[in-house]
C-alpha cells in the first residue's frame, strides 16, 4: 500500500500507437506516446492502480502509478566515436574562423 501524500511517479498515455502520425520512424510509430509525471499521491493506492497526483506546479494529473519516491536520472546516451569526430571538426572550423 502506498500512502496518500507520498511522492510518486505516474505514467499517462498521451497518444495511442493508432493515433500517432504515419510520418515518424517505423520503430516508434507502433508504440504508445507516453509521459511520466512526478507528484504527490492524493489517495492511498497500490502500484499499477490508476491514481491522481498533485504536481509541484499544483496541477492534478491522472495516470498509472509506476514508482514510489522516484529519483531524478538523466543521460545523454552512450559514447559514440562519430560524435567525437563531429566535435573535433566543429572546433577545428571555429578555430580557423577565430584566426581569420
The CATH number of residue 24's host domain is 2.30.30
> What residues contact 54, with CB distance under 8 A and at least 6 apart?
39, 40, 42, 60
Residue written as grid cell 492524493: 42
Global confidence as pTM: 0.71
Q: What is the pLDDT of residue 76?
A: 81
- Asked if residue 53 is part of any domain, the answer here is yes
Strand partners, 23: none
| pLDDT (0 to 100) of residue 100 | 65
Write down the pLDDT at residue 32. 94
| In-domain check, residue 100 | no
Rounded Cα–Cα distance for residues 68 and 72 (Å): 12
Per-residue model confidence (pLDDT) at position 78: 87
Exposed, middle or buried: residue 67 (CB in 10 Å: 0-12, 13-18, 19+)? middle
Q: Which domain holds residue 49?
A: 1-74
What is the number of domains present in the chain? 1
d(Cα 18, Cα 75) in Å, to the nearest integer? 29
| Residue numbers in the chain where pLDDT is lower than 50 | none
Amino acid at each position: 500500500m502506498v500512502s496518500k501524500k507520498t511522492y510518486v511517479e505516474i505514467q499517462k498515455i498521451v497518444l495511442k500507437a493508432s493515433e500517432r502520425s504515419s510520418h515518424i520512424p517505423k520503430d516508434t510509430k507502433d508504440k504508445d506516446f507516453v509521459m511520466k509525471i512526478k507528484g504527490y499521491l492524493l489517495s492511498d493506492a497500490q502500484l499499477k492502480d490508476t491514481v491522481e497526483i498533485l504536481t509541484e506546479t499544483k496541477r492534478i494529473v491522472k495516470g498509472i502509478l509506476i514508482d514510489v519516491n522516484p529519483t531524478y536520472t538523466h543521460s545523454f546516451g552512450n559514447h559514440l566515436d562519430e560524435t567525437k569526430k563531429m566535435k573535433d571538426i566543429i572546433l577545428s572550423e571555429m578555430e580557423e574562423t577565430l584566426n581569420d
